[in-house]
Structure 1
Amino acid sequence: MQIKGIHHVSAITADAKRNYDFYTNVLGMRLVKKTVNQDDTSMYHLFYADEKGSPGTDLTFFEIPRAGQTYPGTHSISTTSLRVKNDQALRFWQERFKQFKVDQDPIEEWENRKILPFRDPEGQRLNLVSDENNVGVKAGIPWDKSGIPEERGITGLGPVHLTVANTVPTKQVLVDILGFKEVGIVNSKLVLETGEGGTGAEVHIEERTDLSREKPGRGSVHHVAFRVEDEEELKQWHERIQKAGFPNSGLVDRFYFKSLYFREPNHILFELATDGPGFATDEEVEHLGESLALPPFLEDQREDIEARLTPLQTSEE
């Protein structure tokens, strides 16, 4: 049993069309699945990833049209990172962000790695992180039809940043239950890693006693998912989390992967998700994300589900 790294991060948008335009046309990520929130089928669930939707590359969004403003604070997944190949790619993105008037900060040095902080149109807090000196979990492959040069494209998810009022209980869950290892302190944040390590397998925890609890809304993160090999291993994790006394969802079949959800003591929602079967289960790789995909257990509701959704054009037809 070993957590392999970050599986996906799920966030909130109030505008699926605007969200789709930014993440595909500006960032060059591929929409690999256009589906619905299985717990509330009135809202879209959009998955952006590398060319095949590889585990560890998915940034997903629930559309909540009436989502209010986010007021940043503790008990939160406060920043999501996206990997690029090298430092030169960061400079490419700096210029591209100027062209598209994306809100960004100067490139920063974090020990032996550089990052470029920026925000999406709804204030989603993001970093581009350079893999120039990275060793660890393998990156994905940028989508070759994105319009972004392959050497500069986004290759997956990097470190996830948590903001808490007290680091200790969150660290205990990650280390004692999920098996993460402490790496050290970087820019006042505790760095933990799992599996092969590196940018695709890190969690950074910042302790802030001067902030109140975050009020989530558009541009906030709902949960982070960590990678497990398969369903058999997920069952073992379920037993461990049960024995530790954490209320949890039990195993949930998301069709594209199987999941387990629980909240750590600072109320941040963690998910464990299997690497497979993957997004090509119900669509050909060449046509991922072009039409509304529904898992078999929702297919008989397709007509009603589509009637409640605002059409979102995601194919070239």
Structure 2
Amino acid sequence: MSLKIPGLHHVTAISGPPQANVDFYIATLLQRLVKKTVNFDDPGTYHLYYGNQQAEPGTILTFFPFDDAGPGRAGPGMASAFAYAVPQGGLNTWMMALAEADVPFDGPTERFSEQMITLTDPDGLRVELIETTRGTGLAANGDTPVDDGLHSVTLWLKQPDRTARLLTDLFGYSSTDETSEGGGTRHRFLAEGQGRGSAIDLLTSDAPSIGRQGAGTIHHVAFRARDDEEHKAWQEVLRSQGFDVTPQIDRQYFDAIYFREPGGVLFEIATDPPGFGIDEPIEALGQELKLPEQHEPLRERIERVLPPITLPKGRGR
């Protein structure tokens, strides 16, 4: 078996109160809430999953929202930003829509010959919208595009060399470009095929910052395994290279393994199957609270603890 990572599966972050998070990602960024469930290790806390209409791997952004979460801060050894892909010609539509909604953003600027804008969510998480020809191949159609999924993740590292070798020598990424940025260097790596969620940027920076997990920070970055056989093979390969890899963990909608990459960022490899339609039809995703089997007997207690969430309508829906 020739093992190569095809791209990102999802990105998981921490937020403050869930309602503001839901309002921003649905009403402002036009994502679909594809699963409303709980943190498996803390069932008194939501785990919210956003994605495209079909909840496909490579479009998924998830949050652990905490009402009392203190503010976090990105720093070395953390993922510091994620980006959504915008089809070629669609960035102007996004800028007009954001301006009309009084959502501030910076840009447009250019990075690696791609136009982009930057904004922050209610907790200060850096969100980038990058116009690209890679990914799904969707074309701008005069409306704000919503289904393009992830473009990339930025990892802020002090010493990127060992992480770069992990990406190229094990994951099958190619080093494609490098540029100076903010007193440091941004180095891009692309997965084979250059499809959805195929880019990882390694950033070194002289900006003084001590990272702190909290609201507005990325908790971990998840890569795709196409099936269970490939997933188990990745576990064996990583262990053979000296990484401290967890056992396979059943996350209901995918199986997961976790390990720290050399720069300190928590990496996950998640399987594509079984997917988010395993416990509710695709057309009804995200409408009801779904609990893992082990927490179902506690449903009444959990529902009393969780704050209510009202789902807004996305613009143009």
Shared fold, TM over 0.5 = yes
Q: Output one character per residue of 1:17-49: Cα deviation in whole Å (capped at 9) or x when no partner.
A: 111011111111100000011121111111111
Q: Output one character per residue of 1:231-277: Cα deviation in whole Å (capped at 9) or x when no partner.
A: 11100000011111111221111110111100012210000011111
Seen in structure 2, the aligned counterparts of structure 1 residues 7 and 150 have a Cα distance that, compared at 3 Å, is farther
Seen in structure 2, the aligned counterparts of structure 1 residues 139 and 275 have a Cα distance that, compared at 3 Å, is farther
Matched, 1:46 2:48: yes
Distance 1:21 1:38 in 2: 24
> Residue type matched to 2:227 in 1?
D
Structure 1: gaps of 5 or more residues: 143-147
Match of 2:213 in 1: 216
How large is the Cα RMSD of the aligned pairs?
2.1
Match of 1:310 in 2: 307
TM-score of the superposed pair, with normalisation by structure 1: 0.91
Matched, 1:165 2:158: yes
Matched, 1:63 2:61: no
Q: Output one character per residue of 1:73-105: Cα deviation in whole Å (capped at 9) or x when no partner.
A: 211111100112123x21122122222222310
Deviation at residue 140 of structure 1 after TM alignment: 8.0
Where does 1:95-114 land on structure 2 (aligned, <5 Å)? 95-114=96-115
Deviation at residue 141 of structure 1 after TM alignment: 11
Q: Output one character per residue of 1:164-190: Cα deviation in whole Å (capped at 9) or x when no partner.
A: 111112112222232222112145311
Instruction: Pick the aligned partner of 1:21 from 16, 20, 23.
Output: 23
Match of 2:230 in 1: 233
Q: Which moved more, 1:219-228 or 1:296-305?
A: 296-305
CA contact (8 A) 1:166 1:209 kept: no
Identity of matched residues, %: 35
Instruction: Pick the aligned partner of 2:187 from 182, 185, 190.
Output: 190
Where does 1:128-277 land on structure 2 (aligned, <5 Å)? 128-131=129-132, 134-135=133-134, 137-138=135-136, 150=143, 152-187=145-180, 188-198=185-195, 200-277=197-274
CA contact (8 A) 2:58 2:196 kept: no
Which contiguous aligned blocks of 4+ residues in structure 1 show a shift greater than 4 angstroms?
139-142, 148-151
Instruction: Pick the aligned partner of 1:293 from 286, 290, 294.
Output: 290
Distance 1:209 1:166 in 2: 12
Deviation at residue 199 of structure 1 after TM alignment: 5.8
Partner secondary structure for residue 9 of structure 1: strand
Distance 1:47 1:243 in 2: 32
Q: Which moved more, 1:220-229 or 1:185-194?
A: 185-194
CA contact (8 A) 2:85 2:149 kept: yes
Seen in structure 2, the aligned counterparts of structure 1 residues 267 and 181 have a Cα distance that, compared at 3 Å, is same
Distance 1:141 1:220 in 2: 31
Distance 1:14 1:303 in 2: 24
Distance 2:159 2:309 in 1: 41
Distance 2:11 2:138 in 1: 15
Distance 1:310 1:4 in 2: 37
CA contact (8 A) 1:11 1:60 kept: yes
Partner secondary structure for residue 50 of structure 2: strand
Deviation at residue 139 of structure 1 after TM alignment: 6.0
> Residue type matched to 1:12 in 2?
I
Deviation at residue 298 of structure 1 after TM alignment: 2.4
